[in-house]
Amino acid sequence: MSIDKATVAKIAHLARIKVPEDEQERLAGELNQILHWVEQLAEVDTEGVEPMTSVAAQTLRQREDVVTEGDIRDQVLANAPDRAAGFFAVPKVVE
Partner 1 sequence: MTDLTRLSAAEALDGLARKDYSAVELTEVHIRAVEAARPLNAFVVETPELALEQARASDARRARGEAGPFDGIPIGVKDLFCTKGVQSTASSRILEGFVPPYESTVTANLFRDGAVMLGKLNMDEFAMGSANITSHFGPVVNPWSPGTLAQHDEAFAAEGAAAELVAGMGQPRPRQEWTFTRKLVPGGSSGGSAAAVAARCVMAATGTDTGGSIRQPAGFVGIVGLKPTYGRCSRWGIVAFASSLDQAGPMTRTVRDAAVMLRSMAGFDPKDSTSVDMPVPDFAAALTGDIRGLRVGIPREYRMDGMPAEIDRLWEKGVEMLRRQGAEPVDISLPHTKYALPTYYIVAPAEASSNLARYDGVRYGQRIDGTSLKDMYENTRAAGFGAEVRRRILIGTYVLSAGYYDAYYLKAQKVRSRIKQDFDEAFKRCDVILTPTAPSAAFGIGENTDDPIQMYLNDVFTVTVNLAGLPGISVPVGLSADRLPLGLQLIGRPFDEETLLRAAEALERAAGFEALPPFMAGAV
Partner 2 sequence: MLIKGETGDWEVVIGLEVHAQVISNAKLFSGAATAFGADPNTQVALLDAGLPGMLPVINRYCVEQAVRTGLGLKAQINLHSVFDRKNYFYADLPLGYQISQYTQPIVGKGSIVLDLPDGSSRTVGITRLHLEMDAGKSLHDQHPSKTYVDLNRAGVALMEIVSEPDMRSPEEAAAYLRKLRAILRYLGTCDGNMEEGSMRCDVNVSVRRPGGPFGTRTETKNVNSIRYVMMAIEYETNRQIEILESGGTIDQETRLFDTVKFTTRSMRSKEEAHDYRYFPDPDLLPLVLDQAWVDEIRSTLPELPDEKKARFMEQYKLSAYDAGVLVAEKASADYYEAVAKGRDPKIASNWVTGELFGALNRLGKSIEESPVSAADLGGLLDLLADNTISGRIAKDVFAAMLETGKSAAVIVEEQGLRQVTDTGAIEAAIDGVLAANADKVAEFRSGKDKLFGFFVGQVMKQTQGKANPALVNEILQAKLKG
Contact residue for partner 2 among 41, 46, 61, 81 (CB under 8 A):
61
Quote the Cα angle for 20-3-33, to 5°: 100
Verify binding: residue 50, partner 2, rule CB under 8 A.
no
| CA pair distance 33, 8, nearest whole angstrom | 14
The verdict on 46 binding partner 2 (CB under 8 A) reads: no
Residue 38 binds partner 1, judged by CB under 8 A: yes
- Give me the sign of the Cα torsion angle 21, 25, 26, 27: positive
Q: Would you tell me which residues interact with partner 2 (CB under 8 A)?
A: 10, 13-14, 16, 53-54, 56, 58-73, 75-77, 82, 84-95
